Amino acid sequence: MPPHALIFPLPMQGPVNCMLKLAELLCIYGISVTVLNTDHIQRTLLRHTNVLARFSRYRNFRFRTISDGLPDDHPRSSERFLEVFEGMKTVTEPDFREMMISGCFGCGSDNPVTVIIPDGSFSFVLDVAEEVQIPVIYFETVSPCAFWTYLCLPKLIGAGEVPFNGKDLDVPVKGVPGTETFLRRRDLPSFCRLNNVANSITEIILKEARYVPRAHGVILNTFQALDASILVHIRTLCPNVYCIGPIHTLFNSRFTTEPKPLTQTPQSDASNSLWEENTTCLAWLDTQVTRSVVYVSFGSMARMTVNEMFEFWHGLVNSGKPFLWVQRPGLVIGEYDVDQVPKRLVNETGKRGFITTWVPQETVLAHSAIGAFLTHSGWNSTVESIMEGVPMICWPRNVDQQVNSRFVSDVWKIGIDIKDSCDRVIVEKAVKDVLDVRRSEFMESVRMLSELGGQSVAEDGSSSMDLDRLIESISLL
């Protein structure tokens, strides 16, 4: 049977982006690939990208879709994302099972699936896969450091360390080997804090921690040199780990210096954006001084109150630095009157600010004018920033972001973690620290990591070799 991978991303920008990159990489190495997107994600992708044209060049590729069980007009926003999991439980799970058992992917079809590569949070996929005896290789699109805390979660709960209330957040956490000297309660994933949705998310993550180690392997979007201290622990529970990151760099490298014979030529213009990209910001960046601009973006899901938005805005303006701010639709919770915006903010933003709804982030981070990234510490954003040598100011919101930001500040020492506060004075100070006061220290560390990341995707680099190993495993399964 020819190898045929079924890739099944979590319906969110970050996972969709890096799993489509994996899909394209597998295609160019001759593996048949089907990407199974939710209807909603597929519609959004088609609206804003050329994915259909791009992937139509691969004879061995196809898209399939499945319902996420929610009505078209559901916002699928971060605070209602649990409803996506609920919709998937009632509608997607049985539909997926039917597809695998008797439908288009089953052994009776013309090109049966030989391996499934789902998002790490899709525990139900392993149940179905075991029933039909198809191996699963999970793709953990969160960071290794956060994934390691997930794997430790049963013990943390057993020891009474988790959950905790909003007090004493600086208490050190003892139950995550390898992090004892720097991890505090406030750095654990957001669902470890007691609140009304935390229990349901914890249930999903606990299941993930039980299921992922049972799979044939797990793919991580990192490189060995970045996460060596954590990978050693992950491997005690998941021995077969493929570190093929930074996947966007590995992907880009295959457009230029591919050392191995390919069955098909990869295509450029590889946007997987779920929003329309504004590229006029690039011309604005061209007019700015080298390494002077703060790029501000909180990813595809994170949200903030009107008050938090104004604190950031004041802090940025008070820093006196130019800024490019992505305010995607839905970023701010609630409405505010434009007359509420102080005249000074409007005037100063006119002089040295650029606000837009969505940008080609990888290209923006690669621009020589960018000197700092004020980020929510999503894992893709973190890796993209590292690879472009841009130090970060971290304001984490959900899930893995709290852990990532602690690693940025205390392990890799490539930025400042302002978690749990966005007071304008703190924002202003962080911007000045990263762009001026501690600039050389951060730049040196992040450049070193970026170089190591570059080496990992070169021929014989650790990520290239893990990709080769992954392709070989898929071919043999």
Q: Tell whether residue 402 is a contact of ligand UDP (CB under 6 A).
A: no
Which residue's CB comes closest to ligand UDP? 378
CB of 400 to ligand UDP, least distance (A): 9
Closest CB 223 distance from ligand UDP, rounded Å: 17
- Angle formed at CA 395 by CA 193 and CA 323, multiple of 5 degrees: 165
Which string of x and - marks every residue 17-36 that binds ligand UDP (by CB under 6 A)? Answer: x-------------------
Q: Which of 325, 358, 407, 442 binds ligand UDP (CB under 6 A)?
A: 358
Q: Does residue 68 interact with ligand UDP by CB under 6 A? A: no
Least distance (Å) between residue 377 CB and ligand UDP:
8
Smallest gap, in angstroms, from Cβ of residue 278 to ligand UDP? Answer: 8
- Choose one: 58-66, 228-236, 334-342, 359-367; the region binding ligand UDP (CB under 6 A): 359-367
C-alpha triplet 222, 376, 299: angle, nearest 5°: 85
Site string for ligand UDP, 218-257 (x = CB under 6 A): ----------------------------------------
Q: How many CB atoms lie within 10 A of CB 411?
A: 18
Exactly one of 179, 297, 385, 409 binds ligand UDP (CB under 6 A); that residue is 297
Q: How far is the CB of 274 from ligand UDP (least distance, A)?
A: 8
By beta-carbon proximity to ligand UDP, the closer residue of 114 and 450 is: 450
* C-alpha to C-alpha distances, 464 to 152, 261, 396, 457, nearest whole angstrom: 29, 14, 30, 5
Contact 76, 40 (CB under 8 A): yes
Q: Least distance (Å) from ligand UDP to the CB of residue 303?
A: 11
Decide if residue 300 touches ligand UDP (CB under 6 A).
yes
Distance CA 74, CA 85 (A): 13
State which of residues 362, 410, 441, 468 lies at the interface with ligand UDP (CB under 6 A). 362
Identify whether the C-beta of residue 57 lies closer than 8 Å to the C-beta of residue 264: yes
In this chain, which of 208, 384, 433, 466 binds ligand UDP, going by CB under 6 A?
Answer: 384
Say how many residues touch ligand UDP, by CB under 6 A: 20
Among 66, 145, 212, 359, binds ligand UDP (CB under 6 A): 359
Q: Is 390 in the site for ligand UDP (CB under 6 A)?
A: no
- Asked if 179 touches ligand UDP (CB under 6 A), the answer is no
Piece of the chain touching ligand UDP by CB under 6 A; list 79-87, 173-181, 380-388, 403-411: 380-388
Among 44, 121, 361, 462, binds ligand UDP (CB under 6 A): 361
**Residue whose CB is less far from ligand UDP, 30 or 360:** 360
For ligand UDP, give the closer residue by CB, 66 or 326: 326
The answer for residues whose C-beta is within 8 angstroms of residue 446's C-beta and 6 or more apart is 385, 386, 389, 390, 391, 412, 414, 415
Which of 274, 322, 280 lies closest to 299 in space, CA to CA? 274
Q: What size, in residues, is the chain?
A: 477
243 touches 22 (CB < 8 A): no
396 is a site residue for ligand UDP (CB under 6 A): no
CA angle, corner 192, sides to 235 and 176, nearest 5? 30
Dig out the tokens for 29 from the structure.
Answer: 């190495």
* Options 11-19, 238-246, 285-293, 431-439: segment touching ligand UDP (CB under 6 A): 11-19
Q: Which is nearer to ligand UDP, 55 or 358 (CB)?
A: 358
Site string for ligand UDP, 256-295 (x = CB under 6 A): -----------------x----------------------
By CB under 6 A, tell whether 441 contacts ligand UDP: no
**Pick 173 or 296: Cβ nearer ligand UDP:** 296
Q: Enumerate residues 417-436 that contact ligand UDP by CB under 6 A.
A: none
385 binds ligand UDP (CB under 6 A): no
Task: Find the binding residues for ligand UDP in span 301-340 (CB under 6 A).
Answer: 301-302, 326
Residues that bind ligand UDP (CB under 6 A): 12-14, 17, 273, 297, 299-302, 326, 358-359, 361-362, 378-381, 384
